[in-house]
């Protein structure tokens, strides 16, 4: 059963979203951000520029976060803490093997 879990983790690590999906997402974000000022100018006038900058920052930051979420396994600061997870698994397996022996 442990090997099944390890195999599932390996599949998660090696399976990334397709390049075409990432390209399509970025192109869609770019199109929305280019058209955004024309949608806001009627209602907000001079406030269109700061609103466009703020909304663009939020959307681009969200896309950057999505890149980290696509790859949860690694050694970076925003990745899952695999060391702690492995230590807990090691303790649990050791307890089971010690109690059954």
- For the full predicted model, state whether its pTM sits above 0.85: no
51 lies in the same domain as 23: yes
Look at residue 56 in the predicted model and tell me its pLDDT.
95
Same domain, 45 and 81: no
Spell 57-95 as b/e; 16+ CB within 10 A means b: eeeeeeeeeeeeeeeeeeeeeeeeeeeeeeeeeeeeeee
**The total number of structural domains that make up the chain:** 2
What per-residue confidence (pLDDT) applies to 27? Answer: 93
Q: What is the pLDDT of residue 101?
A: 57
Q: Which domain holds residue 46?
A: 18-70
Question: What is the chain's pLDDT, residue by residue, as a tens digit (101 residues)?
Answer: 777 777 787 777 677 667 788 889 889 999 999 999 999 999 999 999 999 999 999 999 998 888 777 776 667 776 777 778 888 888 888 888 887 65
């Amino acid at each position: 059963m442990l090997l099944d879990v390890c195999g599932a983790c390996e599949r998660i690590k090696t399976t990334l979203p397709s390049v075409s999906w990432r390209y399509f997402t970025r192109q869609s974000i770019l199109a929305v951000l280019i058209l955004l000022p024309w949608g806001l100018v009627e209602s907000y006038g001079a406030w269109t520029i700061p609103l466009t900058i703020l909304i663009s920052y939020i959307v681009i930051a969200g896309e950057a976060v999505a890149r980290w979420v696509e790859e949860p396994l690694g050694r970076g600061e925003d990745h899952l803490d695999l060391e702690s997870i492995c230590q807990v698994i090691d303790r649990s397996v050791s307890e089971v093997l010690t109690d059954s022996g």
